[in-house]
Amino acid sequence: MNEEAEGILLVDKPGGITSHDVVDRVRRLFRMKRVGHAGTLDPMATGLMLILVGKATKVSQYLMSMDKEYTGTMKLGEETDSQDADGEVLVTKDVPELSEEAIQLAMKEFLGDQYQTPPMFSAKKVNGQPLYKLARKGKTVPREPRVIRVSRFELTASELPEVSFLVACSKGAYVRTLAHDLGQNFGCGAHLNVLRRTGVGQFGIDKADTLDILKELSPTALRRKLVPVLQAVPSHAL
């Protein structure tokens, strides 16, 4: 079956595995090597990944450029070296009394185009080396800030020190850096402790399947799960 399989598979990634692990498992399901993705998720994160099967790998750049949506929770009062719950706690501070209105107002300041400095614990490369490899050696190097856009950043629940939110942002935006920077604004620091990607462009998490469900499908049923490239990408981008 495998030479001809082609399309986009919507996968609901579980926490605790890498994006490469997801690609690997899909390769095994389809018994083919030509499988890629249109944007990684950190190991702790869950949610929507677009897995590209066969010739669909050719449109990865277009799909990667689409806006993303997430839900998440940050913990105020603790900064970590990775800006998320997988890192070492560097600083602990008391969390001020913050009303929901004050949190929402602070979130509004992050809307629109802005410069964001990628975290050291990221796959972004400097002189050909991923930053996270340098970070693991305890090194910090200057990173070029880049322009990102945040179109939504909304409070969904507040049980201090935890704050839950929804965010919609452009390619290249680090949600954990948003959480870190919001904590800086409050003077107490913060890190991201839950992240779930709920949307990529027109695709929503409601149409995605878990790896456990996918591995139970027959080859024919699995193939039916593939979204044709032409449904996802305008013909001028092919």
Catalytic residues: 42
Distance between CA 220 and CA 238 in Å, rounded?
26
Picking from 14, 18, 17, 22, the residue whose alpha carbon sits closest to that of residue 52 is 22
Picking from 89, 75, 88, 66, the residue whose alpha carbon sits closest to that of residue 204 is 66
Our CA angle for 87, 92, 97, nearest 5°, is 120
